[in-house]
Amino acid sequence: MEALYNSQLKPYGDIFLKKYIKDYNSLSKNELYLIAARNSIGAAVKRNSTYCKNITKESKNRIRTQWQEFLFEYLDEINNDNNFTSWKSVLSKFKKSMNDSFDNNLWFDEFRISHSQKSLSVFKKYDVCIKLHFNEEFISSPMCPIDRIVFKKSRFPFPIPSWGKMNNMEEYETATNIISQKLSVDIKDLWKWELINF
C-alpha cells in the first residue's frame, strides 16, 4: 500500500476544510481531527434517523463519544489496509460494534450501514484533506461518502435509493458499482472524484 502526496489536490482539500472548520488555518492537527470526528458524526445523522425517541442528553453524548472513538480506531485500520474488501469488512464491524454497545438507544434499535459508511468515509476525507493541508503523505480512501448528492451527481438510475435506509452490504456494494459505472470512474478513484467535485 503506497502513501501518496498530490499537490494538485491540496487546493481542493483546503476548500473542504475552510467550508466546514472555522479558522482551520490556525488550528493544530489534533484539533482538526477532533473537529473532523464530530463533523463526520454530524454528517451521518443529518437527515438520517439515529436515536430512539425520548433519548436523554447524557445517553446521546455517551453514544457520540464512543462513536468518535470508533472513528479513530477504524481510520487506523483503513489506513493500514485500504482496499475495498477490507473497507466493507470494517463498515460491517463498525455497525456491529455500535449495535452491541447502544442498540436500546438507537432508532428501531439499530445503527445502520448508512451510519457507518457516511461517518467513516467523511472522516477519511478529512484525514486526506488534513494531511494535504500539512503537506504530508496520505493513504487514499477506499470509497467516497455515499448520499443523496452523490446519487444525483452520478445520475443514478431511478428509483434513487434512500442512502439513510441502506443497511446491508449487498445494496451498498450495488450502489457503489452503479455510481462507478455511471461516472466512468474506477471504484478506487471515487474518493478523488468526490473531493474535486464537492
Please state, in angstroms and rounded to a whole number, the distance separating the CA atoms of residues 179 and 143: 11
Give the residue numbers spanning the domain of 37: 7-197
Helix segments in the chain, DSSP class H: 10-20, 29-45, 57-80, 84-102, 113-133, 148-153, 169-183, 190-197
Cell of 192: 478523488
Asked if the structure places residue 2 within a domain, the reply is: no
- Asked, for residue 1, whether it belongs to a domain, the answer is no
Tally the domains of the chain: 1
pLDDT digit string, tens, across residues 85-95: 999 999 999 99
pLDDT tens-digit map of 134-167 = 999 999 999 999 999 999 999 998 888 889 889 9
